[in-house]
Amino acid sequence: MTTHDTRPGSTGGEDTPGPLYGGPDEDYTPERLAGMSREDLDRLGARYDGVEILHVDPGPEPGSRLEKRAVRQVGLAFTLAGVFAFLFLVVYAGSGWFLPEWNWAEEGTTWSALFTPLLGLFMGLSLTMVGVGLVLFTKKLLPHETAVQDKHDGSHFDRVTTGATLVGGLHSTGLARRKLITRSLGFMGAAVGVMLLAPLGGLIKNPNTGNPLGRTSWAEGVRLLRDDGSPIRPGDQEPGSLETVFPEVPGGNLQSDAATMLIRLRPEQVLQDEPREGQADFSYGDYVAYSKICTHAGCPVSLYEQETGRILCPCHQSQFAVTQGAKPIFGPATRSLPQLPITVDDEGYFVARSDYIEAVGPTYWNRERI
Amino acid sequence: MSTTNPQSDAPLDDAGTPVGRARARRRSKHRRRLANAAGLMASLLMTGALYSVFAPAQAAVETTSESAAEAAGRELYERSCISCHGENLEGVPNRGPSLIGVGEASVYFQVHTGRMPLVRQEADAPDKPVVFSDEEIDQLMAYVQANGGGPTLPSGDLRDGELAEGGELFRLNCSSCHNFVGEGGALSSGKAAPSLESSTDLEIYTAMLTGPENMPVFGDNQLTPDEKRSIIAYIQTVQGMADPGGAGIGRMGPVAEGLVIWVVGISALMFGIFWMGSKA
Amino acid sequence: MAATATAPGAPTSRLGKTATEFDDRLIVAGPVRRTLNKVFPDHWSFLLGEIALYCFVILLLSGTYLTFFFDATMNEVVYDGSYDPLRGTEMSGAYASALNLSFDVRGGLFMRQLHHWSALLFVASIVVHLLRIFFTGAFRRPRETNWLLGVVMLVLALLMGVTGYTLPDDLLSGTGLRIISAILLSIPVIGTWAHFAVFNGDFVGTEIIGRFYIAHVLILPAILLALIAAHLLILVKQKHTQFPGPGRTEHNVVGNRLFPTFAAKATGLLFIVFGACAALAGLVQINPVWLWGPYNPAQVSAASQPDWYILFLDGSTRIFPAWDINLPGDYTIPALFWPTVVIAGAMFTLLALYPMIERKLSGDTASHHLLQRPRDVPVRTSLGVMGLTFYFVLAISGGNDVIADKFDISLNAMTWFGRIGVIVLPAIAYVFTYRICLGLQQHDREVLEHGIETGVIRRLPNGEFIEVHQPLGPVDEHGHGQLAYGGAPVPKRMNHVGGSRRAIRGFFSPIEEPSAVELEQRREGRGLSASESDRELTSSGRPSEGGRPSEGGRPQDPRD
């Protein structure tokens, strides 16, 4: 830390400072400063920055028991920090060398399960000890000083002079009179701005082209496949069961809107079943197929309670009643899960009779129009 | 094939409205009264029909020779189960479902996890300490299996499957209710999918096979025995696996993590800055 | 030591010469001295923002490390790493690289967890910092700009969190991404267009991880960094606020100079925060993506939640009623729009505009550099607690399935708790907080008027029992204190006014002579045995000299 102001030019020579030069170097010559103690210089500089040191509570007396103890504590903290850092390095570099392998093989070994915790423990302790040492040092060994610094509100002088410069500069451009320039400037600004933003237009895609939101891969005659690609016969499922099925198209089991729940109702549920209007023939025997994509936020709704016939969405807890056309009966969802019309093909496997007759997944602005 | 034949048990369940009544019982309160009245009427009719259909059949079964285990099982049944499941496994309206066709697998699951015998009717049956000894469970299974048939217990190594495939199947079919690693989760209106933490291989297998309570049934034509074994291999491997990144905090994800950052992280640092700010 | 150089002022030491050479070129001595002399007030609550700053530093460091290994691609690969239960599974390249980072990079899992924990801590400390600013009124003129910057940074931190949460492309984050997609779709009129612009098509596409990645590692951190710089510059320019107290006015700052005290403490805190994050990173597992599995749109898990700071939005979505608005022309405003876009927008707008709102309503347009105690501004405090309660109910609802499961409560009941609670509880919280504030205010005034309760019971000649009160300052003829409340804490127990001598230092064994301490205390006029001295107190109820009132003296008999 230096309290000297050694601006070039202030140490003499031919090159003399201009008439406007001033500041503390004029008041305090090098000779005068050289005659001051370090403490005085410190306070002088502080005062120059608007800081007054009110009170200094000196640290513990040199050589006192209190000091020795504090020094011991701080030293211990820093030493421990070093030791823990070293232990971190031992664990990090030593695993697989003179310590067991850290890699996670099969179900993991004791050491591989300890590796990361040990790294964290040692690094955590080491860094915390550095911090603790520093704080202890500040609290127990450094003098406690109470300083006051003045707070200045904005200076009126600065405001007025800056304003004058600004207005003067603006005035000399004459923009207030030369209307053509301001107008063309405005036009230019808008046009150039839009031009610079225009390439972002590459992001824009028309969501209505090909109606990707309103259609899925399901179509007449498309088989219902399991995740592993096998088709399903009506005899394959027990009453009260659910299978997630996908359309028989390439990559069908990865499409985000195609996942469908094929549910075989329990016999008494078949009796109670009240399909939605016009969708009575969408089911096949005791099988019904509903979209797995929640009509609320698009999560896969597959928490199927086979006794109560409820389907729960794990994201926002919408509940749908399977025997009432998958109508929402609780939670934030507003629309029934779309039902996939199904039947059985010549070979006895489930196929779709058509695509969903409405858009699957979350609601959006013009959904009803698609 | 150990699975039930859908063709043969369909008419049984059609008549088995006790199940329907069990369903009504679990409905929310405001529907209960209506459901009860309707259920009562239906049950009166149906129980009558059921009785006329099964009483002779049951008698026919009884006339054939009954093994010692079945006899012991009958005795246990009549002591502990009959009040809810009826004299001939036909179920009791508003109390317990029919056990005809549920098979020994179902008995194994329900009794071995302590769910049965039930203490009281709740949203769902909690698992409790087991009441019966293994031998008694075997006897009960023999009795129920002999009187109605149904899914049977598997044999062999139940973890003999493909780990990665099991994981994929678990996430597709199971995790939606049982959570990513089988920690369990809430269902509607107070029901819950239990944690699989202490479940045995056979319990998991029989649960998939029989679909206890609200769990969907995964018959052998839907999830093959091999696939079931893969799922069990996955669950048990992951459940038994140590956490490489330190304390697992329940493997619950963000809720537990958020709790930790506030209760541990922020608290520790608050303590730290209190200490820093305090006078020496 | 005074300089004894031959040439006046010329440095003699090597260090001094180097410094001179340096300053000859850069002319920094002046600004450096001004910086070193800067005074910072000393209060624990002023360190909260620093915690957030240090978390950001840790995030930059650990995040840079992660980019060496993370591969933000959605191309399908077959996993072939160390983690057995997923080997042979198809997954995106992003997820596979997150697995490799966790299992096949030495210390990679530690760094991943360090990044995630410090991210959680980052947002948490921002929130705590914001609460401190709010409840003490530190946002008032002239600091509205910094408040605004702070709120913008909070939103940016949330966006950072959301994009970072999405990157590993695991089953949990994919579910979150699906909800983000639905939220975009739910925006009226432009929803589908916005979605197609962000996702480059229908959900999920092949672009989104890459786009979120660049937002997460470049765009958002760059903006955040710039705003942090502005935030700190403004803080330095405006100087820190301080609590009222002896010698503290609207026109000064009382505290420690930057060098060495404040710098040492701040550096210490940096290490402590780093240490805490590192310890959490190793000892507590966070976001074990290998357990979640790769994302697949047909799969989901029970209890799928966002990280804690988005939990409130998930909660508002869960408890919002099923209210689609159907407009003529078959247009729909989806129910999802309200609890996500509108509520979040309204909450953050309200938060950002609060200083202006309060200024408008209270008519207080003056500059303030002294902080307020929350009790002294009951309306603001109550509004704050009300907002917190609202937020808290939403956050609880965001985890309502976990709570329902762990505490065996009906899920539907939890939803209804949220629906009713979010309306009723904030109102109750307002009333309660208001009453508590008034009560605390009243108690302060009472102590100033009647003195501290000493616990000493006296019997008067007429048989009446009274408790002896210790006045805090000069009293009038009725024994009533004449001190006015100055916004600073009022001592309420005898210990606070030096009624007892300080404890002897030493944890396991005393390191001081008790008799010496006794003497020292007596010298300082502390303790009951010290004679009562003349007191001069400021309007704040504290003595004008020294930090603490030290004129305990003997309890006086009340005179009324």
Nearest to C294 by CA among A44, A369, A253: A253
* Set of chain A residues whose Cβ sits within 8 Å of the Cβ of B26: 307-308
pLDDT of residue C534: 40
Q: Taking CB atoms and an 8 Å limit, are B255 and C280 in contact across chains? A: no
Q: What is the average pLDDT across A64-77?
A: 92
Q: Which two tokens stand for residue C170?
A: 């695991």
Which has the higher per-residue pLDDT, C413 or B144? C413
* Set of chain A residues whose Cβ sits within 8 Å of the Cβ of B244: 104, 108, 112-113, 115-116
CA–CA separation, B188 vs B179, rounded Å? Answer: 15
Q: Which two tokens stand for residue C338?
A: 């309200």
* Set of chain C residues whose Cβ sits within 8 Å of the Cβ of A255: 297
Clarify whether residues A289 and A191 are in a common domain.
no
* Set of chain C residues whose Cβ sits within 8 Å of the Cβ of B28: 412
Q: Which residues pair with A284 in a beta bridge?
A: A287
Nearest to B104 by CA among B228, B221, B216, B210: B210
Clarify whether residues A136 and A182 are in a common domain.
yes
- For A49, the closest chain C residue by CA position comes to C34
Q: What is the average pLDDT across C271-292?
A: 95
Q: Which two tokens stand for residue C142?
A: 């002239």
- Largest Cα–Cα separation, chain C: 94
Clarify whether residues A160 and A265 are in a common domain.
no
Q: Which of B108-112, B263-267, C507-511 has the lowest mean pLDDT?
A: C507-511
- Of the candidates C43, C293, C307, which has its C-beta nearest B171's C-beta? C293
3-state DSSP call for residue B73? Answer: helix
Q: Which amino acid is at C200?
A: N
The pLDDT tens digits of the residues spanning C198-221 come to: 999 888 888 999 999 999 999 999
Q: Taking CB atoms and an 8 Å limit, are A107 and B242 in contact across chains? A: yes
Q: Which two tokens stand for residue C454?
A: 């000493």
- Of the candidates A4, A38, A128, which has its C-beta nearest C9's C-beta? A4
pLDDT of residue A12: 46
Clarify whether residues A197 and A300 are in a common domain.
no
Q: Which two tokens stand for residue A124?
A: 């955590």
- For B268, the closest chain C residue by CA position comes to C276
Structural domain that includes position A289: 211-370
* Set of chain A residues whose Cβ sits within 8 Å of the Cβ of C51: none
By residue count, chain A amounts to 370
* Set of chain B residues whose Cβ sits within 8 Å of the Cβ of A143: none
CA–CA separation, B254 vs C309, rounded Å? Answer: 10
- Of the candidates B237, B255, B266, which has its C-beta nearest C402's C-beta? B255
CATH of the domain at A221: 2.102.10.10
CA–CA separation, C34 vs B173, rounded Å? Answer: 67
Q: Taking CB atoms and an 8 Å limit, are A298 and C367 in contact across chains? A: no
Please name the helix (run of DSSP H) or strand (run of DSSP E) that holds residue A261, with its range, or none.
Answer: strand A260-264
Last residue of one domain, picked from the residues A152, A180, A205 = A205
The pLDDT tens digits of the residues spanning C423-479 come to: 999 999 999 999 999 999 999 998 888 888 888 888 888 988 988 888 888 888 877
Q: Is A101 on the interface with B (CB under 8 A)?
A: no
Clarify whether residues A216 and A201 are in a common domain.
no
The pLDDT tens digits of the residues spanning A252-269 come to: 888 888 999 999 998 888
**Chain A contact probe: residue of C12, C39, C175 with most A CBs at under 10 A:** C39
Q: At what angle do helices C171-186 and C144-166 cross, to 10 degrees?
A: 120
* Set of chain A residues whose Cβ sits within 8 Å of the Cβ of B177: 303
Q: Taking CB atoms and an 8 Å limit, are B277 and C311 in contact across chains? A: no
Residue C538 has pLDDT above 50, yes or no: no
Q: Taking CB atoms and an 8 Å limit, are B277 and C42 in contact across chains? A: yes
Residue B56 has pLDDT above 50, yes or no: no
Using left for φ > 0, alpha for ψ between -120 and 50, and beta otherwise, residue A221 falls in left
- Of the candidates B179, B188, B241, which has its C-beta nearest C303's C-beta? B179
The pLDDT tens digits of the residues spanning B174-185 come to: 999 999 988 888
* Chains contacting B (3+ CB pairs below 8 angstroms): A, C
Contacts of A265 (CB under 8 A, 6+ apart): A239, A240, A273, A286, A287, A288, A309, A322, A323
Number of domain units in chain A: 2
- For C84, the closest chain A residue by CA position comes to A106
CA–CA separation, A221 vs A355, rounded Å? Answer: 10
Clarify whether residues A223 and A137 are in a common domain.
no
CA–CA separation, A219 vs A352, rounded Å? Answer: 6
Q: Which amino acid is at C83?
A: Y
- For A104, the closest chain B residue by CA position comes to B244
- For A48, the closest chain C residue by CA position comes to C34
CA–CA separation, A187 vs A181, rounded Å? Answer: 10
**pLDDT-based confidence at B133, cuts 50/70/90?**
confident
- Cα-Cα-Cα-Cα torsion C270, C274, C277, C282, nearest 10 degrees, comes to -160
CA–CA separation, C451 vs C478, rounded Å? Answer: 13
Residue C548 has pLDDT above 50, yes or no: no
Q: Looking at this predicted complex, what is its ipTM?
A: 0.90
Clarify whether residues A192 and A270 are in a common domain.
no
* Set of chain C residues whose Cβ sits within 8 Å of the Cβ of B276: 44, 47, 265, 268-269
Q: Please give the full DSSP string across A155-169, using - where no structure is assigned.
A: PHHHHHHHHHHHHHH
CA–CA separation, A232 vs A221, rounded Å? Answer: 13
Last residue of one domain, picked from the residues A205, A240, A259 = A205
- Of the candidates A138, A150, A334, which has its C-beta nearest C265's C-beta? A138
Pairing of strands C465-470, C452-459: antiparallel
A219 CA: distance to closest CA in chain C (Å): 19
Clarify whether residues A282 and A333 are in a common domain.
yes
**pLDDT-based confidence at A289, cuts 50/70/90?**
very high
- For B186, the closest chain A residue by CA position comes to A314
Whether A112 contacts A102, CB under 8 Å = yes
Residue A183 vs residues A177, A187, A190: alpha-carbon distances, Å: 11, 6, 11
- For C86, the closest chain B residue by CA position comes to B164
**pLDDT-based confidence at A25, cuts 50/70/90?**
confident
Label residues A223-233 b or e (16+ Cβ within 10 Å = b): bbbbbeeebbe
Q: Which amino acid is at B195?
A: S
C410 CA: distance to closest CA in chain B (Å): 3
- For B248, the closest chain C residue by CA position comes to C285
* Set of chain C residues whose Cβ sits within 8 Å of the Cβ of B125: none
- Of the candidates C273, C293, C302, which has its C-beta nearest B193's C-beta? C302
* Set of chain B residues whose Cβ sits within 8 Å of the Cβ of A110: 242
B64 CA: distance to closest CA in chain A (Å): 29
Q: Taking CB atoms and an 8 Å limit, are B242 and A302 in contact across chains? A: no
* Set of chain C residues whose Cβ sits within 8 Å of the Cβ of A46: 37, 257
First to last CA, chain B: 79
Q: Taking CB atoms and an 8 Å limit, are A1 and C84 in contact across chains? A: no
Which has the higher per-residue pLDDT, A115 or B9? A115
Clarify whether residues A159 and A189 are in a common domain.
yes
pLDDT of residue C529: 42
Clarify whether residues A186 and A248 are in a common domain.
no
How many contacts does A have with C, using Cβ atoms within 8 A? Answer: 360
**Chain A contact probe: residue of B176, B235, B243 with most A CBs at under 10 A:** B176
- Of the candidates C121, C171, C273, which has its C-beta nearest B180's C-beta? C171
Q: Taking CB atoms and an 8 Å limit, are C305 and B190 in contact across chains? A: no
- Of the candidates B184, B187, B237, which has its C-beta nearest C411's C-beta? B187
Q: Which of A75-79, B91-95, B171-175, C211-215 has the lowest mean pLDDT?
A: B91-95
Which has the higher per-residue pLDDT, C555 or B240? B240
Nearest to C367 by CA among A153, A150, A160: A153
pLDDT of residue C173: 93
Q: What is the average pLDDT across A269-287?
A: 88
Q: What is the 3 state secondary structure string of B227-244?
A: HHHHHHHHHHHHHHCCCC
Q: Taking CB atoms and an 8 Å limit, are B244 and A302 in contact across chains? A: no
Q: Taking CB atoms and an 8 Å limit, are B280 and A303 in contact across chains? A: no
Q: What is the average pLDDT across A31-42?
A: 88
The pLDDT tens digits of the residues spanning A316-351 come to: 999 999 999 889 999 999 999 999 999 999 999 999
Clarify whether residues A159 and A255 are in a common domain.
no
pLDDT of residue A7: 53
CA–CA separation, C398 vs C125, rounded Å? Answer: 20
Q: What is the average pLDDT across A242-256?
A: 89
C138 CA: distance to closest CA in chain A (Å): 16
Q: What is the average pLDDT across A107-136?
A: 91
Last residue of one domain, picked from the residues A205, A234, A253 = A205
Q: Taking CB atoms and an 8 Å limit, are B216 and A242 in contact across chains? A: yes
C365 CA: distance to closest CA in chain A (Å): 15
The pLDDT tens digits of the residues spanning A197-243 come to: 999 999 999 998 888 888 898 999 899 999 888 999 998 888 899 99
3-state DSSP call for residue A301? Answer: coil
CA–CA separation, A134 vs A187, rounded Å? Answer: 59
Residue B11 has pLDDT above 50, yes or no: no
Q: Taking CB atoms and an 8 Å limit, are A257 and C203 in contact across chains? A: yes
Q: Is A348 on the interface with B (CB under 8 A)?
A: no
pLDDT of residue C478: 79
Clarify whether residues A1 and A68 are in a common domain.
yes
Q: Taking CB atoms and an 8 Å limit, are C335 and A332 in contact across chains? A: yes
Using left for φ > 0, alpha for ψ between -120 and 50, and beta otherwise, residue A201 falls in alpha
* Set of chain B residues whose Cβ sits within 8 Å of the Cβ of C404: 186, 190, 192
* Chains contacting A (3+ CB pairs below 8 angstroms): B, C
Residue B94: phi and psi, rounded to 5, are: 65, 10
Rounded to the nearest angstrom, the gap between the alpha carbon of residue C268 and the centroid of all alpha carbons in its chain is 18
Pairing of strands A51-57, C90-92: unpaired
How many contacts does B have with C, using Cβ atoms within 8 A? Answer: 201
